[in-house]
Amino acid sequence: MNEDITLNPTQGFSGVQERQREELTREQVLSGESQQQMHVHAAQGVQCPYCGTVNEPEALFCASCGKPIGQTTCPNCGADIDADADFCEVCHHYIRKDVCSFCGAHMSENDAFCPNCGNPRGGIVCPTCHTINDFSFCKQCGTALTDEARQLLKELQLTPEYKEMEALAKEIQELEMVVPLSSERDKLRDQLSRKLRERVLTLLARDRGVAQPVIEEKEASVEKQDLDAKKEECLKRLNEILEQMAQKPSPQPAKVRNYAMACKPQGVRLAWECNFKHALHSSPCGCAKPQLGGKWIILGKNSRKEIKDDK
């Protein structure tokens, strides 16, 4: 296991962000324009959105700059997919034979293990929940499965942003456990039960020969609106941090998946919104093109149905 932590804690989150930014800049230089630009179908062929070259109508990659421009079919289920997708959202399979799904390094077709990170092509079984995973974090329970993933998680956990997220997630969970006094009737009932408690305790004390019993004040009950306001405040702040940690586009889908999974706070219901189709995925492990970037968003009640790729 690789235990050396190269990241300086003071550098923290900004260091990780810096790296992302560098990748983005490099990509912008390479592609010249936004990857999200749609392909232009010229009458005699497909015009490359990156360099403008007009290619053969059936071309999948630009003859001039090599960027993916066309549509292809999933080798596993035959669904139509973009040439630069590495994952099929129809059959939920990783489809690239030449790129390691865990680290993004080049692999040859016969490699059973990645020559760079040593992870198996067939996937890694999560030691926690036993799900088979093509990517570095378990899509089911979030466990880091590779050395690189564990390293990234350690780096992120040292950052003030991550620590604040954890604290907020914990507070939100605790607030959700509190049962508020929602109506006047509840308040009245609470008052009555307090009085009854006092009377019972007084009677019991008299039985034991004590004139005046010590009655501890029951913890003050919280008004629903105060509770909601507090929860709202926590959610708002958590949302700000998630926004701040949004995943920038990167030439390597593996980098975005790994970073997004490492950023995810535990204990709050989240969905990953990709920049590709602005679909809500349960995680970037279910997105065909995470290389375009994305971010975690907090799910409210009853929003489960919006998630596109439920496992």
Chosen residue from 42, 90, 178, 204 binding Zn ion by CB under 5 A: 90
CA dist., res. 137 & res. 190, Å (int)? 47
Counting contacts by CB under 5 A, is residue 87 touching Zn ion?
no
Counting contacts by CB under 5 A, is residue 59 touching Zn ion?
no
- Give the burial string for 87-119 (b: 16+ CB within 10 Å, else e): bbbeeeebbbeebbbbbbeebeeeeeebeebeb
When the beta carbons of 123 and 180 are compared against Zn ion, the nearer one is 123
When the beta carbons of 13 and 137 are compared against Zn ion, the nearer one is 137
Give the per-residue contact string, 166-205, with Zn ion (x = CB under 5 A; - = no): ----------------------------------------
Chosen residue from 7, 103, 256, 263 binding Zn ion by CB under 5 A: 103
Chosen residue from 7, 16, 46, 62 binding Zn ion by CB under 5 A: 62
Counting contacts by CB under 5 A, is residue 117 touching Zn ion?
yes
Chosen residue from 7, 46, 74, 307 binding Zn ion by CB under 5 A: 74
Are the C-beta atoms of residues 83 and 68 closer than 8 Å to each other? Answer: yes
Are the C-beta atoms of residues 162 and 264 closer than 8 Å to each other? Answer: no
Per rule CB under 5 A, count of chain residues that contact Zn ion: 33
Are the C-beta atoms of residues 279 and 273 closer than 8 Å to each other? Answer: yes
Q: Please give the C-alpha separations between residue 62 and each of 29, 37, 42, 49, 73, in angstroms, as whole numbers.
A: 17, 15, 14, 9, 17
CB 152, min distance to Zn ion, A: 14
Are the C-beta atoms of residues 231 and 175 closer than 8 Å to each other? Answer: yes
Chosen residue from 77, 132, 188, 200 binding Zn ion by CB under 5 A: 77
The residues in 135-164 that bind Zn ion, with binding defined as CB under 5 A, are: 138, 140-141, 143
247 DSSP 8-state letter: B
CB 75, min distance to Zn ion, A: 8
Q: Please give the C-alpha separations between residue 22 and each of 240, 295, 297, 300, 301, in angstroms, as whole numbers.
A: 23, 18, 25, 34, 38
CB 50, min distance to Zn ion, A: 5
Q: Is the dihedral of CA 231, 139, 252, 164 positive or negative?
A: positive
Counting contacts by CB under 5 A, is residue 274 touching Zn ion?
yes
The residues in 10-49 that bind Zn ion, with binding defined as CB under 5 A, are: 48
CA dist., res. 127 & res. 147, Å (int)? 14
The residues binding Zn ion (CB under 5 A) are 48, 50-51, 53, 62, 64-65, 74, 76-77, 79, 88, 90-91, 100, 102-103, 105, 114, 116-117, 126, 128-129, 131, 138, 140-141, 143, 274, 276, 279, 287
